[in-house]
Amino acid sequence: MRVLVVEDDGVLRGQLVSTLEAAGYAVDSADNGIDAQHLGTTGSYDAVLLDLGLPRLDGLSVLRNWRAVGRTMPVLILTARDSWHEKVAGIDAGADDYLAKPFHVEELLARLRALIRRAGGHASAELVCGPLCLDTRNGRASVAGQVLALTSHEYRVLAYLMHHQGEVVSRSDLVEHIYAQDFDRDSNTIEVFIARLRKKLPPGLIETIRGLGYRLGAPR
């Protein structure tokens, strides 16, 4: 899962980026509205954290512009405390949720997980596929109760497939959603991650759809 953080306060931005990376996300960040608008328009994000008071272009305009060009990723806006009019304006501009500053990191992570789940049509924090269970609250995957040891990239691949189970996911989708912008991307590594995951999972869970990609589903 890949997330965009838009925040002009350098200290807060750094904290958000490291917290999200520690929670298993691929993270890009922007410190102004123009860069944010470009990244959100051209990149594939599973969610965006958007501060509203930004230099060069304000957050509400950024959000309206994304929605106007058809970008539908979930957006959580960061608002000033007690500023109910910012929350209303943000939601009217297409935000999916808001969080007032200062906030607890745990609350931010929980809201972000909920947004990403709901965007994939999942109501529960535990995603289940046959014997495989992914608990999005603690980033743990288990098979029949046994926790799997996964590297961060294996986890990101599995989490993306679990959020999109039953769908065909292409290698380029996976590349877009597991790597941050600056990462040296190589779509061949996706095959390596899939091969390693298959060794750790019961047979038949990840199907190869020739020429199209992969599909995660309970074996029939």
Residues binding Ca ion (CB under 5 A): 8, 51, 53
Q: Residue 57 CB, nearest distance to Ca ion (Å)?
A: 12
Beta bridge partners of 125: none
Question: CB-wise, 77 or 157, nearer to Ca ion?
Answer: 77
Q: Residue 69 CB, nearest distance to Ca ion (Å)?
A: 23
Q: Residue 75 CB, nearest distance to Ca ion (Å)?
A: 15
Residue 38 φ/ψ, nearest 5 degrees: -65, -50
Question: CB-wise, 103 or 183, nearer to Ca ion?
Answer: 103
Question: CB-wise, 32 or 170, nearer to Ca ion?
Answer: 32
- E strand segments, the chain: 2-6, 26-30, 47-51, 75-79, 97-100, 126-129, 132-135, 140-143, 146-147, 168-169, 206-209, 213-216
Which residue is at the shortest CB distance from Ca ion? 53
Question: CB-wise, 24 or 53, nearer to Ca ion?
Answer: 53
Q: Residue 86 CB, nearest distance to Ca ion (Å)?
A: 11
Is 150:194 a contact under the CB 8 Å cutoff? no
